[in-house]
Amino acid sequence: MFIVEKANLSSHFRSIKKKPPHLPKNYQFAARSFDEKVILHLKTLDLATNSANISISWLSAAVSFLSTVHSEAEDQISNLKTEADDYHVLYMEYSLKVLDLCNLFSSAVQQLTDRRLLLNFSLRLLNFSDQIPSAEKLNKAKDTLTKSLNNTLESAKEKGLRAKALIDELTILLGRLPSSKSNSGRDLIRRTFYALGVLTVFVGSVLVTILYGEADVVKLRVPVEFLWADSVNGLQTQIFELIKPKPNRLLELDTIASRAVVVLDLLHVFTSEGGDKVNDRVGLEDGIKELGTAAKKFSDGVDTLTKGVNGMFRTVLNSRNGRLDM
Examine residue 8 and state whether it is found in any structural domain, yes or no.
no
Q: Domain of residue 256: give its range.
A: 27-320
Picking from 105, 138, 118, the residue whose alpha carbon sits closest to that of residue 253 is: 118
Examine residue 1 and state whether it is found in any structural domain, yes or no.
no
Examine residue 325 and state whether it is found in any structural domain, yes or no.
no
Examine residue 190 and state whether it is found in any structural domain, yes or no.
yes
Segment 216-263, tens digit of pLDDT: 777 889 999 899 999 999 999 999 888 877 766 889 999 999 999 999
Q: Is the pLDDT of residue 9 over 50?
A: no
Q: How many CB atoms lie within 10 A of CB 67?
A: 18
CA–CA gap between residue 253 and residue 185 (Å, rounded): 47
For 89-119, the DSSP string reads HHHHHHHHHHHHHHHHHHHHHHHHHHHHHHH
Examine residue 119 and state whether it is found in any structural domain, yes or no.
yes
Examine residue 304 and state whether it is found in any structural domain, yes or no.
yes
CA–CA gap between residue 113 and residue 299 (Å, rounded): 8
**Contact at 8 Å (CB) between 35 and 284?**
no
Examine residue 302 and state whether it is found in any structural domain, yes or no.
yes
Structural domain count, the chain: 1
> Which residues lie across from 255 on neighbouring strands?
none
Helix or strand or coil: residue 286?
A: helix
Segment 263-314, tens digit of pLDDT: 999 888 887 765 556 677 888 889 999 999 999 999 999 999 999 999 999 9
| Sign (positive or negative) of CA dihedral 256, 261, 262, 266 | positive
Query: Which pTM does this prediction carry?
Result: 0.85
CA–CA gap between residue 254 and residue 90 (Å, rounded): 40
Segment 121-170, tens digit of pLDDT: 999 999 887 778 888 888 899 999 999 888 665 557 889 899 999 999 99
Exposed e or buried b per residue across 164-178, where buried means at least 16 C-beta atoms within 10 angstroms of its C-beta: bebbeebbebbeebe
Examine residue 305 and state whether it is found in any structural domain, yes or no.
yes
Half-sphere exposure of 303 (CA within 13 A, CB side): 7
